[in-house]
Structure 1
Amino acid sequence: MDTRQPIALAYPFRGRCQVRNSPANRVPSHGTDLYATTYAIDFVPVDTRSRSAPYTLRSVLWPEPPEVFVGFGWPVLAPVAGTVVAVHDGESDHDAYRGLPSVRYALTQRERAAAGPTALTGNSVVIEAAPGVLVALCHLRRGSILVALGGRVAVGDAVGACGNSGNSTEPHVHLQAMDHLDPERAKALPISFDGRLPRNGDIVAA
């Protein structure tokens, strides 16, 4: 069991989200320690019916454009104050995959992992809150990033928009904390929000 004090963070969205892959349910939360994802959490914007997009026959059989998802383009907010130490942009927002397409997409994940961290994170921003405390926000929308390398951000500042770049089946934000900028060398840091470990399910961030 990890006895380190969790890094206190704010939610990266305002509005209703679904928390997935929460460490309250499973550690490692993403099924691996690889790339410091031990405590990583996905925030998926949803509507009042807890749906990220209408579920239709197309959802079952074919990929869907990211624009049909309620969270695509939602502002992504800095969950911690600090200095921007990494920015990556230019990755396309690809189709979303639910139903049968998600199975086919999962079978290609090994190829993306072999291509390196950028193929997994997509467009991303990393904020250094303190020495050895870095928070990454991944899968951002192409061309949406609002911060620059070396810039300072406060909690709640907009850093970009929710997208579907990298290793993502639908628009969401992947958030993790780590102790080194290089994810292949980094170790994951435990995190909390409003003093709590989020559980899988809906949250409403004001």
Structure 2
Amino acid sequence: MPLTHPVVLALPFTERWLVQNSPARRVPSHGTDLFGGRYATDFVGVDERRRTAGERDWGTLFGTEPPERFFAFGRPILAPADGVVVAVHDGEPDHEARRSQLALVGYMLGQAQRARRGVGAIAGNHVIIALRDGSAFVALVHLRKGSLRVAVGDAVTTGQQVGSCGNSGNSTQPHVHVQVMDGPDPSVARGVPMAFRNYREWPAAGVGPRTVESGIPGEGAVVEPL
């Protein structure tokens, strides 16, 4: 039976992160229902000035940049709920990042080809956790190659590190993509609504911060767990 209310999770990280492709802006949040991502949210690590990286050069404008340049790369990614690991995928490379519009054009042209290659090419390195109550499955996507700390069958608790943020799969710069699904296989699962609890939010308009007990972070907001 489909869930009629959002699955409420803890944010899967510490520090500050910028919200992109939020379902608070539109549904499907990423413009498609493919791969169970109807309500998915992307989080990009930032500093206190909302910057995703502390350096810019010619690659920023016209080419690619090393993923290590970005604040998100290598930050710990945590289990957002208690559960059991049902899928782990590692071995996908962390490719060069692309902030340049010129570099993004060619990358986007290859998106259909990556989708045909399947979940690994889209999600990159990832972990899927069956929630303890059996209601749904949460996926943590685009993790750093070699950083995964869990295996299939492991029980995890909220806040336990499962890997590190990377730039694997269909990702233009280091970030973590979070989604909840009604099954463990993203190629056939349907997305499930989700919300997050106990965080501080700086809205895109620049006011705040405000404390949120349970909610869906807005597009362009910066969030930080309490």
SS at match of 2:187: coil
User: Which residue in the other structure is 1:205 paired with?
Assistant: 225
**Pair 1:157-2:177 in alignment:** no
User: Which residue in the other structure is 1:91 paired with?
Assistant: 92
Cα distance between partner residues in 1 of 2:171 and 2:69: 15
Which aligned pairs between 1:61-72 and structure 2 lie closer than 5 A? 61-72=62-73
Cα distance between partner residues in 2 of 1:124 and 1:198: 22
Please identify runs of 4+ aligned residues in structure 1 that moved more than 2 A.
54-57
Calculate the aligned-residue CA RMSD, in Å.
1.3
TM-score (norm 1): 0.96
Cα distance between partner residues in 2 of 1:182 and 1:126: 9
Q: Are residues 3 and 131 of structure 1, via their aligned partners in 2, closer, same or farther at CA, if it must alter by over 3 Å? A: closer
- Aligned partner letter, 2:218: R
Q: How many residues align?
A: 205
User: Which residue in the other structure is 2:178 paired with?
Assistant: 175
Where structure 1 has 5 or more consecutive residues not aligned to the other structure, the ranges are: none
Percent identity of paired positions between Structure 1 and Structure 2: 50
Which aligned pairs between 1:20-169 and structure 2 lie closer than 5 A? 20-53=20-53, 54-99=55-100, 100-129=102-131, 130-169=133-172
SS at match of 1:135: strand
Where structure 2 has 5 or more consecutive residues not aligned to the other structure, the ranges are: 198-213
- Aligned partner letter, 1:164: N
Query: Are the equivalent residues in 1 in contact too, given 2:29–2:41 (CA < 8 A)?
Result: yes
TM-score (norm 2): 0.88
* Farther-moved stretch of structure 1 (5-14 vs 56-65): 56-65
How far does the alpha carbon of each residue in 1:23-52 deviate from its partner, in whole angstroms, 9 at most, with x for none? 000100010111111000001001111111
Higher relative contact order (CA 8 A, sep 6+): 1
Cα distance between partner residues in 1 of 2:191 and 2:97: 27
SS at match of 1:114: helix
Cα distance between partner residues in 2 of 1:140 and 1:28: 22
